[in-house]
A and B are shown apart, each in its own frame.
Chain A
Amino acid sequence: GENVEQHPSTLSVQEGDSAVIKCTYSDSASNYFPWYKQELGKGPQLIIDIRSNVGEKKDQRIAVTLNKTAKHFSLHITETQPEDSAVYFCAASKISGNTGKLIFGQGTTLQVKP
Chain B
Amino acid sequence: KAGVTQTPRYLIKTRGQQVTLSCSPISGHRSVSWYQQTPGQGLQFLFEYFSETQRNKGNFPGRFSGRQFSNSRSEMNVSTLELGDSALYLCASSLGTTGTEAFFGQGTRLTVV
Binding site for B on A (CB under 8 A): 32, 34, 36, 41-46, 49, 51, 89, 91, 95-96, 98-107
Contacts and interface: CB of A to CB of B under 8 A. Distances in A.
A101 B55 CA distance: 10
Nearest to A44: B104
Contacts of B103: 46
**Which of the four size classes fits the interface of chain B?**
20 to 34
27 contacts: A34-B101, A36-B104, A41-B106, A43-B6, A43-B90, A43-B106, A44-B43, A44-B90, A44-B104, A45-B104, A46-B101, A89-B43, A91-B43, A98-B56, A99-B94, A99-B97, A99-B98, A100-B55, A100-B56, A100-B96, A100-B102, A101-B56, A102-B33, A102-B43, A102-B92, A103-B45, A104-B43
Given A98-B56, A100-B92, 6 more contacts: A34-B101, A43-B4, A89-B42, A99-B55, A103-B45, A104-B43
Contacts of A102: 33, 35, 43, 45, 92, 102
Contacts of A49: 101
A101 B106 contact: no
A44 B33 CA distance: 13
Contact of B50 (A42, A43, A100): A100
Nearest to B101: A46
A41 B42 CA distance: 15
Interface of B: 4, 6, 31, 33, 35, 42-45, 48, 50, 55-56, 58, 90, 92, 94, 96-107
A79 B58 CA distance: 38
Contacts of A46: 101-104
A29 to B, nearest CB: 13
Nearest to B105: A43
Among the interface residues B43, B55, B99, which one has the most CB atoms of the partner chain A within 10 A? B43
